A and B are shown apart, each in its own frame.
Chain A
């Protein structure tokens, strides 16, 4: 099991003929993802990587029954591509594009809110349900089907957490990279309820970082809903100076808000276990799962 995607998910790739789009589509196919179509305006009627290419998402959905989009287009076109996916009625869009103008995404998110689409990203590594399906960048060999859900703002740390959990024999249900931008389609509090409802997810690893208040909101959600699965949290950026963007557009401490310590305190207060290394994440996940079983 898992959340958001599984082996039946039918994926359309927006930007399938680009260098990155083509490479990652092949990686996804190698993982077992059912890629059913590509969309590149002006290239409709052709075929690439064994799938038909369409001019518009609407045509692709009508012809193939796609139910998720992988948006991998350059930053100036990302918001428009996201809105096209939403307008075509897709229930899920995953946008990995980094560097999208923030106000473009403000408009795209407002547009998406009026549809039934759930947007993951932008500037995210994507989603992977271990052993079944992946949309995005998460490396193919790191995951093993298992018991832990992962939700993270950072890409490479997500891969490290997955690899650690897999090597420790705990494995994952689904890993969701929500992205490093200040304006995101989904945040921790959108994904945690999915893990709450998934019987196969027995614990959740939450990877946060400085900037914004998404981790504090997650802490509040955990406390208010009485979420009873163990949460292990890992927050990057304790050494980050205020006012500096640390790689991710959203990783910035403004005044006194968005600090690592504030997030750590909030999550600890909500009952999460706090790790300061990947090794710690894996150890705590093991301990909390063992304690639950006992």
Chain B
């Protein structure tokens, strides 16, 4: 779950990190009011995706009238599919230098990595790819958090790449210590997989201010952050309920299904187990088909889950055939087969269906499928070929 900028900034402010003064506006009039109150402001689209500056989603305005006009323009935008529902209107900063400070999960080290760089204001991924030496990293102990000396070491390493800051490095490093410690604490408290301040602005009068912020909360931990989840849901959906999220994925989420939509594909894919379903998609593509989705019914693959899954996959009218690939381990093949047949009949399914099933009672399962007029696959590659041929014949 990626928070909006203003949500992330509120979290930073609560953690004791300075952010520019700002107001949230949902209408041009509210943006004008913010300009009257704050003076010169940046009007920034609140969308859960990057690249909004390039898409025209940010404007700097001097008067309430300009704020109203620019707000109206930005609120009419869709940025990479996301409608702009609100604007963050904040005071500008007098920028001396742009730095970077971030915390992100490092899978290989199995720790949060704390990263510092004097190359702020650019995508950190780009800095990492082009000039990795400009990023100083540390991997704090998850219980103790970053120690002052560790942050200082990283700060001096990062600031060595900013000759203009040479004389001020001692004071800056000292100021970065509590900032980094607060950010790390915030990342842990909010279950953040990414929590970054970019740019972290060094102002003309020597303050460090978070000019932009990103905070992505671990989906597995959303149950601990109900307030943020509710706030985000309210902020990204307008009166029409359109969020910019893929509508099929949004529906699957409501139904509690593990589903990824691949728009434009023609073959619905269902299986049990993430690896097995990924492989199912691979097999379909390998024989010239185009998978429409990834749907993992989970380990057990009960009849009810299979029915729900079929119904979900068939929502996209592009789906012209469905491939179900089940390994029956503890769930028996005949049970799975009966569930599939019942689901097909109850849903009045008209597109071809191929079911490949292996494991316990697989012969009995295949007999049930054949009697019901469903093509049973023995091997997954053969079944993939079968569904691609059946669908190909109908296009």
Interface residues on B, range: 35 or more
Partner of B108 from A137, A142, A152, A213 at Cβ < 8 Å:
A213
Q: Are A163 and B220 in contact (CB under 8 A)?
A: no
Partner of B110, one of A109, A160, A238: A109
Task: Pick the contact of A241: B110, B262, B273 (CB < 8 A).
Answer: B262
> Among A157, A213, A238, A260, which residue has its beta carbon within 8 angstroms of that of B273?
A157
Is B125 in the interface zone, CB < 8 Å from A? yes
Contact A107 B329 (CB under 8 A): no
B274 lies within 8 A of A154 (CB): yes
In the complex, whether B330 has a CB less than 8 A from a CB of chain A is yes
A-B contact count (CB 8 A): 161
Is the CB–CB distance between B110 and A106 below 8 Å? yes
| Chain B residues within an 8 Å CB radius of A248 | 274-275
Given contacts A99-B220, A239-B285, A276-B286, whether A207 and B191 have CB atoms under 8 Å apart is no
Pairwise interchain contact B107-A159, C-beta atoms closer than 8 A: no
Q: CB-defined interface of A140-157 with B at 8 Å, one 1/0 digit per residue?
A: 011000000000111111
Q: Which of A4-12, A61-69, A195-203, A249-257 contacts B (4 or more CB under 8 A)?
A: A249-257
* Interfacial chain A residues near B262, Cβ < 8 Å: 239, 241
Whole-angstrom distance between the Cβ of B328 and the nearest chain A Cβ:
8
Distance of A212 Cα from B106 Cα, bound (Å):
9
> Is A94 interfacial (CB 8 A cutoff)?
no
Proximity bits, B180-208, A CB within 8 Å = 1, else 0: 00000001100111000000000000000
Q: What are the residues of chain A within 8 A of B381 when measuring CB–CB?
A: 277, 279
Q: Give CA–CA (A138, B105) in the complex, Å.
A: 30
Q: How near does chain A come to B235, taking the closest CB pair, in angstroms?
A: 21
Cα–Cα distance between A183 and B221 once the two chains are bound (Å): 14
Main secondary structure, interface of A, reads loop
- Is there contact, CB below 8 Å, between B112 and A101? no
Flag if B282 contacts A239 (CB, 8 Å): yes
Asked if A239 meets B281 with Cβ closer than 8 Å, knowing A101-B218, A102-B220, the reply is yes
Residue of A nearest to B261 (CB): A244
Supply 10 A–B pairs (Cβ within 8 Å), ascending by A.
A103-B191, A154-B274, A154-B276, A154-B278, A207-B275, A213-B108, A239-B262, A240-B278, A247-B278, A251-B275
Q: Name A's B-contacting residues (CB within 8 A).
A: 27, 75-76, 99-104, 106-107, 109-111, 137-139, 141-142, 152-157, 159-160, 163, 180, 182-184, 207, 209-210, 212-213, 217, 234, 236-241, 244-251, 255, 260, 276-279
Interface residues, chain B, CB within 8 Å of chain A?
105, 107-108, 110-112, 125, 141-143, 187-188, 191-193, 218-221, 223-224, 258, 260, 262, 271-279, 281-286, 291, 294, 296, 299, 327, 329-330, 358-360, 379-381
Sorted nearest first, the 4 A-B pairs with minimum C-beta distance are A154-B275, A247-B274, A156-B273, A139-B329
